[in-house]
Amino acid sequence: MSGTNDETEQTGSSGEAEQGSTPSETNGIDRRKFLFAAGAGLAGFAGATLGGAKLFSGPGEPDSPGSDTNTGSATSSQSIEAVEVEGSRSLVCIFLEGGADSANIFIPIENSEQGKSHDAYRKARGNLAIPGSDLLGFDDGKFGFNPGVAGLANLANEGRLAVVQNVGPLARPMTKADFLAKKFIPQSLFAHDAQQKLWQTARPDLTSSQGWGGLVSSAVSRGAEITPAFSLNGSNIWQSAVEGPYTRLSPTVPIQRMLGYDATLRASDPRTASIANVLARSVELAGSSSNVFEREVADLISGSIVTTERLQEATAPDNTEDLMTDIDGNRLGMQLRLVARLIKNREDLGMARQMFFVRMSGWDTHGQQAERFPVLLAELDAAVTLFQRAIDELGVADTVTTFTASDFGRTLTLNGDGTDHGWGGHSFVFGSSVKGGLYGTFPSYATNNNPDDTGETGESFAGRLIPTTAVCQYGATMARWMGLQDSHLDAAFPELQNFEQRDVGFLKRA
């Protein structure tokens, strides 16, 4: 999962149809072979590439669900149901790949609690510490944002951004004593691929291949003509589920209609119209075939024709270009601009619920963090600020919620000129349905006798924070907002039953 992919595959059928050929043949190829070739070019059952859009749904694709061997986990979204919530809603995941140092994004200033003051932060962070006078104040000056994220700070002070403090994968509430006794520890802590998976499945072990986003999406969008789950940056586990594939788009590669169905190409090359005619006739005949595979391929091709046509129209450049100007070159911003287009057109696409995954890499700051971190923050803040402005201008801000996730937080301690892999970290949720403020418990930064640190003794300070809010609590709060029934939350988030607080409270109820 660690690799990113901003380019998407594009496939399509090609060839010529002789004038006067019979419906069952194309240049000597019988209908079945023609359909098999077209079907293989479009999809196969492992995944469907739709001219710049790739659907993942079957076993055999990287990061696809395959089988789920988790005891007590939902092996199918059939048991997960949604409540009816009026209007449309869109949920956007911004994954900060590599492990973002959120301790240097949201920082204590005048907080007087022991171990949670700016002085404690400064002692722990050494030469990476940001002076309190430079921070953008929040919560009556008790806390502040890094000056590199002025857009996030503005959203917070408008009451539209929630800081969810010290979040991470957990099986159940965990104390330092539990950690030292090796009880309830999530699998493969501090490893990139493993922790990305735990964040995206909301599970404490690696046995599940179903993402919580995929489970929620398949439940709240069952029956949708076009899958309403989109990744703008390659494959991911968060959107994987046994039911309900997701569509992979690229912000740099326009969607192309199937060969023979593109009006511009048909005008320049009349032969493509013949291909379309032969394909249409073959699909028509296969649709009534006694051969199950032929019928499946015919359905896939028919759906692909409709899907590529409608998505091409929905993702074409429009006034979101004006709403998100100067974003070219900002890789995250380009992904979010395409998200804004799809949100703008969600009613036309028949999507009452949408789930989006975007990714920004580069957060694994083992070295040169003082130089690299401001650059990362500048890209993140510019993209987020322009995206939220576009959503506001579209008049849908109360129906779009965006949140951050990352592999893990980073160590409070330094390794020289950088930081290492941590555990708990802060996450940010924003939108007009967000109840702004602080949620969860801010951890102690004390370098001695720290109850939240994984260090073995009172004098031993590892700088790795034991989370006080679980990913399953974080995710379940958003799943409820998207329309998942309270009674079915445990199917999507099996560990949620181990926590007294099932809803963290940062989103307004429907």
Question: Is there a contact between 373 and 104 (Cβ–Cβ < 8 Å)?
Answer: yes
**Rounded-to-integer distance, Cα 494 and Cα 172, Å:** 11
pTM of the model: 0.85
- Residue 273 makes CB contacts below 8 A (sequence gap 6+) with 260, 266
In this prediction, residue 267 carries a pLDDT of 59
In this prediction, residue 308 carries a pLDDT of 85
Question: Is there a contact between 504 and 469 (Cβ–Cβ < 8 Å)?
Answer: yes
- Residue 28 makes CB contacts below 8 A (sequence gap 6+) with none
pLDDT tens for the chain, residues 1 to 510: 444 443 333 333 333 333 333 334 444 446 555 555 555 445 433 333 333 344 433 333 333 333 333 333 344 444 576 666 678 999 999 999 999 999 999 999 998 899 999 999 999 999 999 999 999 999 999 999 999 999 999 999 999 999 999 999 999 999 999 999 999 999 999 999 999 999 999 999 999 999 999 999 999 887 788 889 999 999 999 999 987 789 999 999 888 776 656 655 555 666 766 766 767 777 777 777 777 777 777 777 777 777 888 898 899 887 666 778 778 899 999 999 999 999 999 999 999 999 999 999 999 999 999 999 999 999 999 999 999 999 999 999 999 999 999 999 999 999 999 999 999 999 999 999 999 999 999 999 999 999 999 998 767 999 999 999 999 999 999 999 999 988 889 999 999 999 999 999 999 986
Identify the helix (H) or strand (E) that includes residue 266. helix 263-268
Question: Is there a contact between 423 and 413 (Cβ–Cβ < 8 Å)?
Answer: no
3-class DSSP state of 427: strand
**Rounded-to-integer distance, Cα 189 and Cα 198, Å:** 10
Max Cα-Cα span within the chain: 87
Rounded to a whole number of angstroms, the distance between the first and last alpha carbons of the chain is: 34
Nearest to 347 by CA among 300, 394, 403: 394
According to DSSP, the β-strands at 353-360 and 54-56 are unpaired
Task: Write the DSSP assignment of 204-217 as a string of letters.
Answer: SSS-----HHHHHH
E strand map for 189-332 = 229-231, 246-248
Residue indicated by tokens 């590439």:
49
DSSP 421: B
CA 34 to chain centre: 37
Instruction: Classify 57-254+328-498 by CATH class.
Output: alpha beta
The strand pairing partners of 49, in sequence order, are 54
Q: Where are the alpha helices (DSSP H) in 394-430?
A: none
Question: Is there a contact between 425 and 166 (Cβ–Cβ < 8 Å)?
Answer: yes
Q: How many CB atoms lie within 10 A of CB 187?
A: 16
Domain ranges of the chain: 24-47+257-315, 57-254+328-498
